Amino acid sequence: MLHIIGLGLADEKDVSVKGLEVIRKAERVYLEAYTAVLLVDQAQLESYYGRPVILADREMVESKSDEILAGADEKDVAFLVVGDPFGATTHTDLALRCRQHEPPIPTRTLPNASILTAVGATGLSLYNFGQTVSMVFFTEDWKPSSFYDRVAENTGLGFHTLMLLDIKVKEPDLKALARGKIIYEPPRFMTVAQCASQMLEVEEERKQGICSKEALAVGVARLGSDDQQIVAGTLEELAGADLGKPLHSLVLCGKKMHELEWEYVRGFAMDQKKFDDVWKQSYKA
């Protein structure tokens, strides 16, 4: 059986008791290590589990899944995923391959905390969120702005938007690659400030008022850990905020923001008077 096990958000102890029992008995243990990361490293996980952990990068999961699934029709294989197993579509693909395997491989999924719900720590109601939107790193000549249309769909209905921020792990260094060498760039994680800046940059072009300087937003970092940080402010303020180590996410507030949500969120405001003023002027029903 393939056990797809959510690890939660922060460290080795966020796994469920049930998940830990499976990991400790499994024939092999893989860790999906490219759509999200924990705040602890592989060695710490291995020491806590008492088991070797095989890092599964994108290439292994998407092109060499046979390695992962080998023997799983008879023995237990654990595939660990940071957050909840269904946060990324790639894990549904893996389950689909198990179903189509000959003989079929039974799968079992152990859900866990996800940023999609942990973001409720901001005080924003999970009932008021629209679709989740991804933000990728802009480069000099590639600034995809399709996120703006998705955010606009949400804001049109007054919904909040959770923005999931790009991470780059194990990206080949293109200059080295051109010289025939495979060297990986150091990992990069988008910050709240970078996301806010990119949103403002696209607003400059589109000018529909979806991601304006005065739009209220909430930045979060390391949610679910003792070290979590939540900062609320305008997008302009957040573009200058430093929330420290990864992972970061950002929520753009929708106009439906209820008074009870505001009352909680304002406790995280960088400049509470400004936050209240903007809320009263542009958000309050």
List the binding residues for S-adenosyl-L-methionine: 9, 84, 87, 114-115, 165, 223, 248
Stretch that binds a copy of itself, among 56-64, 130-138, 212-220, 230-238 (CB under 8 A): 130-138
93: its two tokens: 């693909």
Binding-site members are: 9, 84, 87, 114-115, 165, 223, 248
H or E segment at 23? Answer: helix 17-25
Is residue 86 within the footprint of a copy of itself (CB under 8 A)?
A: yes
Is residue 90 within the footprint of a copy of itself (CB under 8 A)?
A: no
Between 8 and 233, name the residue whose CB sits nearer to a copy of itself: 8
For the beta carbon of residue 216, count every other beta carbon within 10 angstroms: 27
Query: How far apart are the C-alpha atoms of 152 and 210, rounded to whole Å?
Result: 6
Between 20 and 200, name the residue whose CB sits nearer to a copy of itself: 20
Least distance to a copy of itself, CB of residue 242, Å:
23
* Greatest alpha-carbon span in the chain: 63
Is residue 137 within the footprint of a copy of itself (CB under 8 A)?
A: no
DSSP letter at 222? S
Residues found in the chain: 285
Q: How far is CA 205 from CA 65, 148, 264, in A?
A: 42, 11, 33
Is residue 21 within the footprint of a copy of itself (CB under 8 A)?
A: yes
CB-based burial of residue 42 (10 Å sphere; 0-12 exposed, 13-18 middle, 19+ buried)?
middle
Considering only residues 239-278, where is the footprint of a copy of itself by CB under 8 A? Answer: 260, 263-264, 267
Is residue 120 within the footprint of a copy of itself (CB under 8 A)?
A: yes
- At residue 236, the 3 state secondary structure works out as helix
Least distance to a copy of itself, CB of residue 280, Å:
19
202: amino acid identity, one letter: V
Query: How far apart are the C-alpha atoms of 222 and 40, rounded to whole Å?
Result: 11
Between 10 and 216, name the residue whose CB sits nearer to a copy of itself: 10
Which residues contact a copy of itself by CB under 8 A? 6, 8-9, 11, 13-18, 20-21, 84-87, 89, 92-93, 95-96, 99, 108-114, 116-121, 123, 125-134, 153, 157, 159, 223-224, 226, 260, 263-264, 267
